[in-house]
Amino acid sequence: MKNKYELSCIDLFAGAGGLSLGLEQAGFSVKFANEINPNAALTYMKNRSLPKESIFIGDVAVLNTKFEEHEAQFKNTFLVCGGPPCQGFSTANRQRLIDDPRNRLYLEYLKFLKHVKPHFFIMENVRGMTHRLDEVIDNFYEYLGQDYNISYGLLNAKDFSIPQNRERLFIIGNNLGISTRDVFFTLYSSVQQFFTLNDAIADLPELKPNSYKNNTKKENEDIGYFDRPYVYKNTEYANFINDGRTIHNLYNHKNRYNNERDIEIFRRLPQGGNSLDESIKDIMPYASRNHMFKDKYYKLKETEVSKTITSHMKNDCNMYIHPTQPRGLSPREAARIQTFPDDYVFYGPQNGWYLQVGNAVPVKLAEKIGRAILSCLN
Dist CA 286 CA 105 (whole Å): 37
How many C-beta neighbours within 10 Å does residue 220 have? 11
What CATH superfamily classification does 197-358 receive? DNA Methylase, subunit A, domain 2 (3.90.120.10)
- Write out the chain's pLDDT in tens, 378 residues: 456 679 999 999 999 999 999 999 999 999 999 999 999 999 999 999 889 899 999 999 999 999 999 989 999 999 999 999 877 665 556 677 777 777 889 999 999 999 999 999 999 999 988 988 999 999 999 999 999 999 999 999 999 999 999 999 999 999 999 999 999 999 999 888 999 999 999 999 999 999 888 888 899 999 999 999 999 999 999 999 999 999 999 999 999 999 999 999 999 999 999 999 999 999 987 666 665 667 789 999 999 999 999 999 999 999 999 999 999 999 999 999 999 999 999 999 999 999 999 999 999 999 999 999 999 998
Dist CA 136 CA 129 (whole Å): 8
Dist CA 65 CA 75 (whole Å): 16
Q: With the CA atoms of 354, 359, 361 and 363 taken in that order, what torsion angle do they form, in degrees rounded to the nearest 10?
A: -20
**Using an 8 Å Cβ cutoff, are 234 and 247 in contact?**
no
H runs (alpha helix) in the chain:
18-26, 38-46, 60-63, 71-74, 104-116, 133-144, 180-189, 197-201, 236-242, 260-268, 331-337, 350-358, 363-377
Q: Please identify which of the residues 9, 86, 317, 376 carries the catalytic annotation.
A: 86
- 123 phi and psi, to 5 degrees? -120, 130
- Decide if 317 is catalytic: no
Equal CATH topology for 8-191+361-377 and 197-358 = no
Whole-Å CA distances, 108 to 38, 85, 93, 261: 20, 11, 20, 45
Q: Please, which contacts does 136-142 make with residues 24 or more away whose CB atoms are closer than 8 Å?
A: 136/97, 136/171, 137/171, 139/97, 139/98, 139/110, 140/110, 140/113, 140/171, 140/173
pTM score, whole prediction = 0.94
Q: Could you state, in order of their start, the residue ranges of all structural domains in the chain?
A: 8-191+361-377, 197-358
What CATH superfamily classification does 8-191+361-377 receive? Vaccinia Virus protein VP39 (3.40.50.150)
Q: Which H or E run contains 124?
A: strand 120-125
Residues 6+ apart with CB under 8 A from 232: 203, 238, 246, 247, 250, 342
Dist CA 211 CA 223 (whole Å): 9
**Using an 8 Å Cβ cutoff, are 17 and 43 in contact?**
yes
- CA 73: distance to chain centroid? 26
